[in-house]
């Protein structure tokens, strides 16, 4: 890997990288906390774009910009959730900002929380900075139960979801999964069953991976869903 990527992978470098990424994780958690407030200063589209940017930007630059964003939000008096339904998006991998924008655009809804493969779920758990870095990375990425690939942890994931819904005052959950992603598709059905049972309206969407090419169909279903929770 050293030769292929023309980098130097040492224990100290790994430790420094873990600390840098952990800092970004803490900042994203702060962003999620801001979205949970009754007065929301950032749209779901903007927040999701900020999360996705962390997957492609140099991490040092990303962390700097994310910190600047949080400082601006701490001083903002804007409330984008005023009079709108508070939604949550969950499910499989999605870097399609257009999907969140479609949910919010020209509707009486704002996405105040998410639980997707990108974003706070992906970034949420910090890696141990005191242990051997390779061991810590392995335990961090393979030992957590945030993904349905982790067998036998459904109840844990449901509890995490319920807690997030309560904290953010979520009024409806939109569950999306990439077509043929059977793990998320199956688990979304379980989530729908258990959340509907406690009075949380849910909408399941199956979609293609890549640019949102089914805008008409998705928009029609979102509009009908919002009428249901109006």
Q: Can you give the pLDDT at residue 199?
A: 95
The side-by-side arrangement of strands in the sheet containing 85-91 is 109-115, 85-91, 172-178, 202-207
In this predicted structure, the answer to whether residue 55 has a pLDDT above a threshold of 90 is no
**Which stretch of DSSP H or E encloses residue 84?**
none
pLDDT in tens, 100-156: 999 998 889 999 999 888 766 655 678 999 999 999 999 888 877 778 888 888 998
Q: Average pLDDT of the chain?
A: 89
Q: Can you give the pLDDT at residue 151?
A: 80
Q: Residue 59 in contact with residue 20, Cβ under 8 Å? A: yes
**pLDDT confidence band for 47 (50 / 70 / 90):** very high
> Domains in the chain, ordered, with CATH?
2-228 (3.40.50.11900)
pTM for this entry: 0.89
Question: Residue 154, CB half-sphere, CA atoms under 13 Å: how many?
Answer: 13
Q: Can you give the pLDDT at residue 57?
A: 92
Q: Can you give the pLDDT at residue 119?
A: 67
Q: Can you give the pLDDT at residue 214?
A: 75
How far is 95 from 221, CA to CA, in rounded Å? 21
Secondary structure letter of residue 127 according to DSSP? P
pLDDT in tens, 156-178: 889 989 999 999 999 999 999 88
In this predicted structure, the answer to whether residue 59 has a pLDDT above a threshold of 60 is yes
């Amino acid at each position: 890997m050293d030769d292929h990527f023309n980098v130097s992978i040492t224990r100290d470098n790994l430790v420094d990288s873990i600390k840098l990424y952990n800092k970004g994780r803490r900042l994203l958690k702060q962003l999620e906390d801001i979205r949970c407030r009754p007065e929301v200063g950032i749209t779901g589209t903007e927040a999701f774009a900020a999360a996705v940017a962390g997957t492609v930007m140099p991490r040092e630059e990303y962390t700097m910009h994310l910190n600047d964003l949080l400082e601006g939000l701490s001083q903002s008096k804007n409330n984008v959730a005023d009079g709108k339904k508070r939604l949550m998006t969950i499910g499989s991998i999605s870097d399609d900002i257009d999907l969140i924008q479609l949910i919010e655009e020209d509707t009486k809804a704002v996405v105040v929380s998410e639980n997707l493969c990108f974003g706070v779920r992906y970034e949420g758990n910090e890696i141990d900075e005191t242990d051997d870095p390779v061991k810590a990375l392995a335990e961090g990425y393979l030992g957590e139960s945030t993904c349905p690939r982790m067998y036998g942890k459904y109840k844990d994931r449901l509890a995490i979801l319920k807690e997030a819904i309560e904290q953010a005052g979520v009024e409806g959950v939109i569950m999306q999964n990439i077509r043929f992603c059977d793990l998320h598709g199956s688990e979304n059905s379980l989530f729908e069953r258990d959340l509907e049972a406690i009075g949380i309206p849910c909408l399941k969407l199956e979609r293609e991976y890549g640019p949102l090419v089914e805008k008409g169909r998705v928009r029609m279903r979102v509009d009908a869903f919002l009428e249901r929770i109006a």
